[in-house]
Structure 1
């Protein structure tokens, strides 16, 4: 084996707009990764240490695979953009609202928009602090956030018209008992209910545009607003659903009280410790993942998803089972998730890195475990005065979130206990 063979990592790239080519190249990279990692393991078994050139090559392949996966995710997101439109709104009404909203955005002309929303009894008026966006734009933002924000895509989403959603949850069922034919039937205990409250918080963006841009009839104003706010909304949501403080933000699932799973009780999230501060155990490192999966009840385990960031996933890619099979497998096709032990893997970059006592991996049924609450309507307030010569568009969305079932999500703690 020559020095050139060891140090040359495969070139991993794809045409910028070809998702199939990007996926094929990613799979080629994974095959190269397996080959190089197997060589590293063989060298360690034979010489107790891997060749430095093999380790260097594996690191370059890792990095290239991560970059290719980012490209693949971007292309899948671009292809997932749905057609605009909302059922129940006639084509004539949609065109009328679109024209009135565009006149408001471009020139501040609110007369037609006021008339349309008065007829529709809309809540977003000038007196309330802004106008609701067109139905097409509102639906577009919601769907694109579902793709960009990973926790939103996994969780249950409810739409409300009030500031708080209150949800009762049965923490224990009704008691029952067996009785003989003539035996007494004493009264049994009733079910225990807990009330969970999910207040909505205000998420905002304030993009700016020059009047010259707004006067340009070739500019698609609705597409521009959507592209300006979709990423910042998604990034803020994604961070809050993981680490939000529950005061001015949705309550993130990692901010819940955490206890060792053996001591779990309602209102807390259970975790399984790796036994090593800031790392996996040296012997059987993947055992903690199996233990965490089986800490879930069967009903939640069937719908479980593994959530971690890209750096954590990079380490887990090397794990094998007792038969030498890789536990992490690449996506089966463009737009599909990778899998770990048969469970889909979702990358959430707001998850912490592996470190002492960090909770870098979450495994669970997030649709059962986490609730996202949207208050209907995205609002836009046009402000041509505060930052002349720019026109500001104060865009707001009300969203909340929190854990609704503390049994459905388990964590991996990178600590000794």
Structure 2
């Protein structure tokens, strides 16, 4: 009889489950060791150095096992480019022409296809458009590995700038009887938000033997090569980008104490201690941050912080001794803090004096990412002989679209 359990354990699903079990075991060890540390501080005023060292090792194991489990879950869920749906003849022709261009440098067929389609991604614009299936695969991968893409609003455009009018005073609404006279509504205050798209590039290299190997799926190879490079650059820009030749990150906007919040600025809540949580009831500051956000935004709220900040938050407890941070329920999911998901972004600043290290809010309403349709590839067989370079570009923009949807925790007095 076939041992199905053994087969599952040997497969990707078994590896993922095993890695996640190790993560949960590490979290239990973390709680036990941290409780010991807190007990020693309470009894003697300081913790044993060996206990602190053990806790640091467990934290490192905790982060590593979670990362391994998430990577395995992402790998097993990654879709193949060759789907089961019927592909239109035009897409098949584009795919074949693109394959010929990438493998052999034959641009004649793909140039004719793009001329016929009056494409904006033709050679004078910096290369040739990748097939739609490849572009979709890259965008799916970016959303899967980029925390900001996973939680922010997304919009695809055909032009270089996306303009959006936004009613800063809210939309006028009310109740009225069927035959009653309609009162005149007040004129809303509108802000014209502009999100220009900037060029982002990656330049993977391939050997000619790889390109000559017909077994290798060139579309999948290219999508795999550029997705991580794009995700890393985008992630930094969406958090701290200055808006010059890149999207403007939400931390690049002016900030103000939340009690004095005004449109165009992000409100913050101070911890009351420079570079730290307060010594007494530190979790209360996280509650203050949550409730600084209006109820409609809290419903879809998400915490954003770096891994080092997660390490500090992970040690916090409520008044009943329960940990505020809780592990994910399954591989590929995010942990939670006070019931809200936590997105780890290494581009968020570590806890320091006056740092804005934790963000909370509805990022799908607060931050907008704008993608210009089309990913282009320019083949370069000359610059790095004997390798062939592929100058791959996409245009992306981003910025805050609702300044009331995101709040920050400032580690300051």
Q: TM-score, normalised by structure 1?
A: 0.90
Among 109, 132, 136, which residue is 1:112 paired with? Answer: 109
Does residue 47 of structure 2 align to residue 50 of structure 1?
yes
Give the match for residue 311 of structure 2: 314
User: Cα deviations across residues 296-325 of structure 1 (Å, max 9, x unaligned)?
Assistant: 000101100000011100111111111111
Give the match for residue 348 of structure 1: 345
CA positional deviation for 1:15: 8.9
Among 322, 327, 331, which residue is 2:328 paired with? Answer: 331
CA positional deviation for 1:177: 10
Give the match for residue 283 of structure 2: 286
Measured at CA, do residues 283 and 382 of structure 1 come closer, stay the same or move farther in structure 2, by a change above 3 Å?
same
CA distance in 2, matches of 1:94, 1:86: 13
CA distance in 2, matches of 1:165, 1:255: 20
Equivalent pairs, count:
399
CA positional deviation for 1:247: 1.3
Does residue 141 of structure 2 align to residue 144 of structure 1?
yes
CA distance in 2, matches of 1:370, 1:256: 12
- Preserved CA contact (<8 Å) 1:272 1:411: yes
CA positional deviation for 1:77: 2.0
SS at match of 1:401: strand
SS at match of 1:159: strand
Among 369, 374, 377, which residue is 2:374 paired with? Answer: 377
Measured at CA, do residues 44 and 232 of structure 1 come closer, stay the same or move farther in structure 2, by a change above 3 Å?
same
Give the match for residue 131 of structure 1: 128
CA positional deviation for 1:175: 6.9
- Preserved CA contact (<8 Å) 1:293 1:363: yes
CA distance in 2, matches of 1:128, 1:253: 30
Measured at CA, do residues 130 and 320 of structure 1 come closer, stay the same or move farther in structure 2, by a change above 3 Å?
same
Does residue 190 of structure 2 align to residue 193 of structure 1?
yes
Give the match for residue 361 of structure 1: 358
CA positional deviation for 1:41: 1.7
Among 390, 398, 404, which residue is 2:401 paired with? Answer: 404
CA positional deviation for 1:85: 5.8
User: Cα deviations across residues 25-82 of structure 1 (Å, max 9, x unaligned)?
Assistant: 1001111111111122222222222222222211111111111122122112212312
- Preserved CA contact (<8 Å) 1:26 1:68: yes
Give the match for residue 208 of structure 2: 211
CA positional deviation for 1:188: 6.0
Give the match for residue 254 of structure 2: 257
Does residue 300 of structure 2 align to residue 303 of structure 1?
yes
| Structure 1 stretch displaced more, 48-57 or 318-327 | 48-57
- Preserved CA contact (<8 Å) 2:81 2:220: no
CA distance in 1, matches of 2:66, 2:285: 26
CA positional deviation for 1:334: 1.2
Among 149, 152, 155, which residue is 1:155 paired with? Answer: 152
Give the match for residue 240 of structure 2: 243
CA distance in 2, matches of 1:366, 1:152: 10
Give the match for residue 182 of structure 1: none
CA distance in 1, matches of 2:11, 2:66: 13
SS at match of 2:342: strand
> Alpha carbon RMSD of aligned pairs, Å?
2.4
CA positional deviation for 1:375: 0.3
User: Cα deviations across residues 72-106 of structure 1 (Å, max 9, x unaligned)?
Assistant: 22112212312336899735443332221111001
SS at match of 1:360: strand
- Preserved CA contact (<8 Å) 1:85 1:139: no
Q: Return 5+ residue gaps in structure 1 as ranges.
A: 1-13, 179-184
User: Cα deviations across residues 213-266 of structure 1 (Å, max 9, x unaligned)?
Assistant: 322323322222112111110000000000111111000000010000011000
- Preserved CA contact (<8 Å) 1:245 1:252: yes
